[in-house]
Copies of this chain bind each other. A is one copy, B any other.
Amino acid sequence: MKSERKIFADYLVKKNLRETPQRGMILDAFLKIEEHTTAEQLYDIVKKRDNTIGQATVYRVLKLICDAGLAREVDFGDGVMRYEHCYNHPHHDHLVCRSCGKTVEVVDLVIEELQKRVAESFGFELTDHEMYLYGICGNCRHKK
């Protein structure tokens, strides 16, 4: 938490951007949330502290947070972008229940290695990837 603020401050300095109350408040609110969050949800939270804040600013700061390496976009394909923590949250993929929407963060090093190899076999140098596994969770299966 301390170091995230430091990273963000350093990023602003490096980019010749200013540290403002809004930027600080939005960053703090984002860091407190452990779930995957939309700009709208973050806006609602920040508004409670300062109801003069504009949602355009939330979108703008969220972009800065991503650029600073503290957040990552997650796209579950429902038309709304979500954001998750990046710092001290190493790369992972997502397992999503088609029935209740529950998500689990997963990582499989063998898959990651094979992805690299597949890319290379076609002459590509892999830079990143997206993998979403969809299914029915145990809970939902037992209900039916």
Contacts and interface: CB of A to CB of B under 8 A. Distances in A.
A75 interface: yes
A104 B122 contact: yes
Interface residues of A, number: 32
Given A75-B77, A108-B114, A133 B138 contact: no
A118 B108 CA distance: 8
A115 interface: yes
A130 interface: yes
A123 B138 contact: yes
Contact of A133 (B119, B123, B133): B119
B124 A135 contact: yes
Contacts of A124: 95, 97, 104, 133, 135-138
Contacts of A138: 123-124
Interface in A114-144: 114-115, 118-119, 122-138, 141
B131 A125 contact: no
